Structure 1
């Protein structure tokens, strides 16, 4: 892994290149997929830096109600984002009472909840994957949700699996994103989550790492995308990280 994996994007939460990870046949391709937290945290300078990375599209996995500037976010003209094709691709719907009851939390925050997306929202998942694939066909993508951790982590994990990355490596990448968000909570003022010291974080992240490994074993990318009826052409686009 190289420093190129972690570009400077002013204001961004945990920006990372999904390239440079060990995979079958070499390292995943740099400069194809960048992941991180919600774009409203990115400053005007950061938007310029995203463009300098060659990013053509932004794929946002949040629900429409989550999208928008918060009072503490930097002031950035909306027109600054016009250089990118911004795609809003929600993967869950909190108006679904059965899902709300099943998830039993204000938001998705654990890989043990990922199967609920497959159960309740297969069409949304498929649509988001297809939209991401179409974006990748035009060039590099910035993929995000809110924290850049779970919805983004799920899609990142499947793309890395398609690229031949071992589950253990994928899980470590996920834990790295957890650590970034935990550090962010030192100052975030989040209404639900908070900064955890080392011992608490180790237990908290360890359960999530184990759950992600179990999820990838039960719902591997190739099999699951076939079940979601993602076309071979779109699967090929989602495998863009393959060496």
Structure 2
């Protein structure tokens, strides 16, 4: 698979009719809520969606060529994917963040970030089950846990071990850092923790798709740990719901 490359929006819009445009948005809102009697401050609520393919991603989709702008096309997609709850706001050009082009498939992916009120975000969550694509392309909405528990794994680190579509994981971390929701050093550490296991597996020529679903290879953080798992006579097993990255 070809690696997508960053492209300026102006250049992306000038690529011509043979290219398709894919738009997604991260919806978030300030959240004063707390967990466990105030021991964990939530601070923000960030939405992602569970896709039909079992991967996490951001709401959106391909923009109709007849749409006068990317933003209007994205707003139409959100109405289909998330329902009437999105009618209280619109994605604007000022919400745009970045674009990535994939030359082989001739697709440009545009990423937006929209700040809502908590009431608006809750209306989106409440209306999503009545959306046209609910249960089809979209299996449900989830909030991203933005905290890390005392064990250093629970919360956001564990959430990032799920399977994400495309560069959604990277877009999430970069957006959280740029918005000041995550400190730069925290975001950098999380990026390394999620990328390192995949690098190790590729270095050893291992395909996660060919390995038992219950074998938690992604918890290996060094080449030595990975080699011990691979050469062990007893393959370590974790929960049967372990995700493939």
Normalised by the size of structure 1, how large is the TM-score? 0.30
Which structure has more relative contact order (CA 8 Å, sep 6+)? It is: 1
Q: Which structure has the greater CA radius of gyration?
A: 2
More helix by share: 1
Normalised by the size of structure 2, how large is the TM-score? 0.30
More strand by share: 2
